[in-house]
Structure 1
Amino acid sequence: MSRTSKFRKDKIKIRIEFPDYTGDKGETASDNTYILPDVGEEATINYNGKEVTINVNMLNDIRKLGFGNYGSVMLAEVQNQPEIKMAVKEIILGGMCSCCCFFLVSPIFILFRYNPRYYFAIETSYGTTADLKEMIDEMHKNSIRVILDGVYNHCDCSSPLTQIDHDYWYHHNPKDSIMSWGPEWNYNFYDSKYNIWPARKFIGDSIRYMVEEFHIDGIRFDAARQIQNFDFLDWVVKEAKKAAGVKPFYCVAEFLPDEPCITNIDGPMDGCWHDSFYWTIRDLLLYDNIDIGRLKSVIDCRQQGYLGVTNVVNYIGNHDHDRMLVELGKERSIFGEEAFKRIRLGVVLEMTSIGIPMIWMGEEMGEYKEKTPDVAKIDWSLIADREDNSNNINKNLLGLYRGLVRLRKENKAFFQTNLDFIHEDHDAKVLVYQRWSNSGERVVVIVNLSGHFLAHYRVPNMPVNGWWHEWTFNYDCKVDYNEVHLDLAEREAKILVWLGEDWQPPAPQPEPPTEPASNNDTNMTEGNPEENQQ
């Protein structure tokens, strides 16, 4: 596609694949071309010279969870991977930019190895440079921001710089032989003769090129812990933000295990993968390991030393692990309603904790496929309309996700780090916490972590009296004497949203008066008195 051509609804030319995300209508135009689900108008894409039918509302379908998205795109060419396929990996529901949604896309490598070869070359499945630029422009028009999935710890063994002068650019030996995936950039080496840091300058130039030429909106730093150089990370993030200008530019690190030193005020990154959150929720949902103290520390990441809403990215699954539904089946033989009940509990905890929630594609609809380096298409029939409503459990899960996304977007209680734990019951395994804003919005989350039904459970220490809306089951309840009584099903969370000091339930509508029967009706009913006497 030429740079000057425009996107039209009847013809969109774009050379890019989302094989896991896309649906499958039973046929493909080629082995590497996939057809999006038929959920709206269709258009034609030119994929490597072949005309392929797709849905023109692809970006809107991607935004099914409710609002703007961010996307992460790997731009570096990959050695010996001409057939490389693209997959949506995660969706991040952000706290910055009015709680917008980040959309993460990056390529699948064999065994998930990230081995870029050329840091200034566009991966061929994106088409030409002009094609990719126009695609990103179109994403921006659809409120989708693009995050570069940057691999700056290592590269492919056949990268040209490894052949020119390996030890000038890279460490001679791996820093960690166990966690090594290729030649590792040496950001410690300074060339006094030419007054440059060779590796830093090369990667910095690459990032600056991507920011200025393609207008990306952030970077996800793969294997950031293995880089082992905060000085470089601090410098390169500042360079990237300088190149981005005044627009928001979000830098997040895959820093495992997570530590606040990578972010906060003194750290180089805006945020990091909150891996301790994942393992805590996993132990709770999968093994019934109810450690309230540990759970509190990941719900309120300040207890771990993090400072802000954007400092951590929370998730209950990502591309490095099987989905929680899969693990429940494999590890515990838990399926059906019981499995979904546990997932719903995890979703509420994820969406109401301090931090940015991230969703691995398919989680929101109950996708069940195991993790694989091969293509594993999402089963879109899970949320399709069925006459027998046999997939209501999946559609209800999607509805929960969408509702929580909307709640996070609209309620200012989630915009700040204000969080208090107002009730702990270690015997009944109940935890209650409050999120609130300085402007008065309040949300209380009541979590039954146990496998027992708790009837008419007393929740004390409610922050204010008056009327609250129980969000999960959509009814109003009144708090008196700073307590409320609720029925809590096993492994269930309820969300109470404060309705305000002046809110009152609507007055009941009076029943319409009963009209008296007419004389004719009376005669027809009672008959003629004279006839009755006979």
Structure 2
Amino acid sequence: MKTYKSLGYLLIMLCWTVSCKKDVKPAVDPMDDNTEQGLKNGVAIDRDKQEVTFALTAPDKSSAFLIGDFNDYKATEDYAMKRTPDGNTWWITLKQLDFQKNYTYQFLIDGQLKIADPYARLVLDPLHDAEVAPNVHLPDYPQGATEGMVSVLSLNNTTYTWQTSTFHRPDVFDLVIYELHVRDFLDQRNYATLRDSIAYLKRLGVNAVELMPVQEFEANSSWGYNPSFHFALDKYYGTTNELKAFIDACHREGIAVILDMVLNHAFGQSPMVRLYQQSGSLSTNPWFNSTPTHPYNVGYDFNHESLLTQQFAKDVIAFWMEEFKVDGFRFDLSKGFTQKNSGSDQSDGAVQQWSAYDASRIAIWKKYNNFIRERDPNFYVILEHFAEDREERELANEGMFLWNNLNYVFNEATMGWNDNSDLKRLFANAHGFEKPQFVSYMESHDEQRLLYKNLQYGNAQGSYSTRDLVTALERMKQAAAFFLCAPGPKMIWQFGELGYDISIDENGRTGEKPLKWDYLKDPNRYNLFTHYAKLIGWKQHNTIFREGLVDHKVNGAVKYYRLKDGGQEVLLVGNFDVVVHDFAVPAELRNNWYDNLAESVLDWHSTSSITLAAGQYYLLSINKLNNK
């Protein structure tokens, strides 16, 4: 405990603590507007009245003071916070602040614990801010006056003026999402440079960008799944207005922006963790479980059955929707939003129990989804769920989309090992869905890169080897065709369109990876890029790729599927083996086909069999596919 500088201050603290420990609540003026009714956590700025109200939920605490550079970080009676009648929330209104300035502040809890505001939009980190770029103008840290994370109250910041007001989101079934990590996508690692990269994304043809977590996370070099302040933009990549300018520019170019939202957990810098951690246990924490309820949890596990946690999550969701005008969220570890305890170990039994049907988890997600839909009926809600199909069907019936990981089976196919390369989960009927309400991907931030495994472990026969770079890149083209032409939204991991071949484990799984923009100078890799662009263009300009009816046989070396929509039909057929195969053409496929890759017509009316070389494939249609 700190040594107090005056006897008077010590008496103030002693009297306050004693009275609160007797459960005598601080007086609340019944005529004061800032009572429990309408009071919201964080900072409320009233520019007309030139008032600022600070509020902090902290049940069962004895005292709370607002400290900051406006009072030299000293707790005095004038800055003692009042408590709402329910005892949950502490608040105070300041009327003497200069609205031409910015301030730093903290809360002093029970005379001992100094915490930043969990709802702060900007925080100062004395350990890591030195690495933040100088163009991100931060207030000076109050060295010597306090310690730990500090909140920033911004009263004179420039408001961003949005330029794009007519953006219409792509149909969800047309989505081709580009998942990227700012740190490993750009040498400059900032939103301003990322905005300059929109031209590249336009050339590729994607119509949505998914950013890995951007909320304030611990340290600087991170994937971002270790958040500590869910309302603050992490400073390492730039400023709030720079991110808004990026989103605005994406919208101007017809590209939606999806944020990776991490609400399963928080990390140790979180004030909500620290508030109840002094005893070394979270057993009394109103937001978090004292021990995780599921395997693969990281950090501190939110209890989503807690009403306080639900309110916090809704506040976070609403803030990012409204303040940044984003178009969707991909919710990390959505399967963890449960109090049905399956154990925190990673045994097969625990993992299976966690994945089993969970009615309480479904109820929680319906509640959050309804909250989002009330604000924006067309918002993209995407869950990293991986529960059993029955549960995912219920969520899909509510309009949510599920992540669909096809990394393993596609990689087996590209390597030429086809015993375990069944692609049936590309299609809705394999999930028991009526529509393809899932975001399929061959690669994500969390999966090994296809080309890396091809080059390391690919199959070979004679002179044909999937370990050869040129051949491996051609196999990527084949996989991309089967992947992107299947109905429903798709996701590409950054540089997959160029055949990124650096292992996910280089420099540690979450460690920094080398940039490979030089791939664009390699003709073979650039051909893969143009192939992706062509496929994406067809996907987005032909409605058959939204929900076209499907029949398929995709479990062997020779795979095919057919789509039907009105008078149009599309056929994908290819040999994923390393040796030649004959394909017996079923009667229903004997037709005149347009070969969209070779730009020629094939007459299969009397064809009963065709020969497919290793890696050979066709993208055929009854009518030539539209590309614009």
Using the size of structure 1 for normalisation, the TM-score is 0.70
Q: CA deviation at 1:201?
A: 0.7
The CA distance in 1 between the partners of 2:603 and 2:181, in whole Å, is 51
The answer to whether structure 1 residue 77 and structure 2 residue 216 are counterparts is yes
1:445 and 2:583 matched:
no
Shift of residue 256 of structure 1?
A: 3.0
Match of 1:388 in 2: none
Q: Check whether the contact 2:407–2:442 (CA below 8 A) recurs between aligned residues.
A: yes
Residue 444 of structure 2: SS of its match in structure 1? coil
Provide the residue aligned with 1:336 in structure 2: 469
TM score, norm. by length of structure 2: 0.60
Q: Once the two structures are superposed, what CA deviation does each residue of 1:423-474 show, in whole Å capped at 9, x if it has no partner?
A: 7896xx433321121x31211111223322247x552324573x32112222
Question: Percent same amino acid at aligned positions?
Answer: 21
The verdict on how the C-alpha distance between 1:376 and 1:463 changes in structure 2, with shifts beyond 3 A counting, is: same
Any residues of structure 2 matched to 1:325-364 within 5 Å, and which?
A: 325-332=451-458, 334-364=467-497
Structure 1 distance, partners of 2:267, 2:468, is 41
Aligned to 2:561: 433
Q: Of the candidates 269, 287, 290, which is equivalent to residue 419 of structure 2?
A: 290
**Counterpart amino acid of residue 451 in structure 1:** V
Alignment pair present for 1:475 and 2:600: yes
Superposed, which structure 2 residues align to 1:22-61 within 5 Å?
A: 22=186, 33=188, 57-61=196-200
Which amino acid letter does the alignment assign opposite residue 377 of structure 1?
A: P
Residue in 1 aligned with 2:290?
172
Between the aligned partners of 2:584 and 2:273, the Cα distance in structure 1 is 66
Cα distance in 2, alignment partners of residues 432 and 315 from structure 1:
19
Q: Residues 238-249 of structure 1: matches in 2 within 5 Å?
A: 238-244=370-376, 246=377, 248-249=378-379
Matched ranges for 1:131-170 at <5 A: 131-165=242-276, 166=282, 167-170=285-288
Count of aligned positions: 412
Deviation of 1:150 (Å): 0.8
SS state of the match for residue 147, structure 1? strand
Residue 331 of structure 2 corresponds to 221
- CA distance in 2 between partners of 1:71 and 1:160 (Å): 28
Which of the pair has the greater relative contact order for Cα pairs under 8 Å at 6+ separation?
1
Report if the CA contact (8 A) 1:263-1:270 is conserved.
no
Q: What is the letter of the counterpart of residue 139 of structure 1?
A: C
Q: Does residue 280 in structure 1 map to residue 409 in structure 2?
A: yes
Match of residue 223 from structure 2: 108
**Equivalents in 1 of 2:604, 2:612: separation in Å?**
17
Is 2:159 the partner of 1:3?
A: yes
Conserved? CA contact 1:252–1:269, under 8 Å = no
1:184 is matched with which residue? 301
Distance (Å, rounded) in 1 between the aligned partners of 2:445 and 2:474: 22
Q: Once the 2 structures are TM-superposed, how far is the Cα of residue 314 of structure 1 from its aligned partner?
A: 1.6
Change in CA separation of 1:487 and 1:155 when aligned onto 2, cut-off 3 Å: same
From 612, 619, 627, the counterpart of 1:488: 612
355-364 or 65-74: bigger deviation = 65-74
- Secondary structure (helix, strand or coil) at the match of 2:300 reads coil
1:263 Cα shift?
Answer: 4.4
Give the direction of change, closer, same or farther, for the CA distance of 1:398–1:484 in structure 2 (3 Å limit): farther
Note if 1:395 corresponds to 2:532: no
CA contact (8 A) 1:63 1:69 kept: no
The code of the aligned residue for 1:431 comes to K
**1:349/1:206 Cα in 2 relative to 1: closer, same or farther (>3 Å)?**
same
Among 362, 371, 388, the alignment partner of 1:230 is: 362
How well do the aligned residues superpose, as a CA RMSD in angstroms?
3.0
Is the partner of 1:121 in helix, strand or coil? strand
Distance 1:183 1:150 in 2: 16
Question: Aligned partners of 1:154 and 1:402: how far apart in 2?
Answer: 37
Give 2:514's match in structure 1, choosing from 367, 377, 398: 377
Shift of residue 338, structure 1, vs aligned partner:
3.0
User: Would the aligned equivalents of 1:263 and 1:272 in 2 still touch at CA under 8 Å?
Assistant: no
Say if 1:222 and 1:265 are closer, same or farther in 2 by CA, change over 3 A: closer
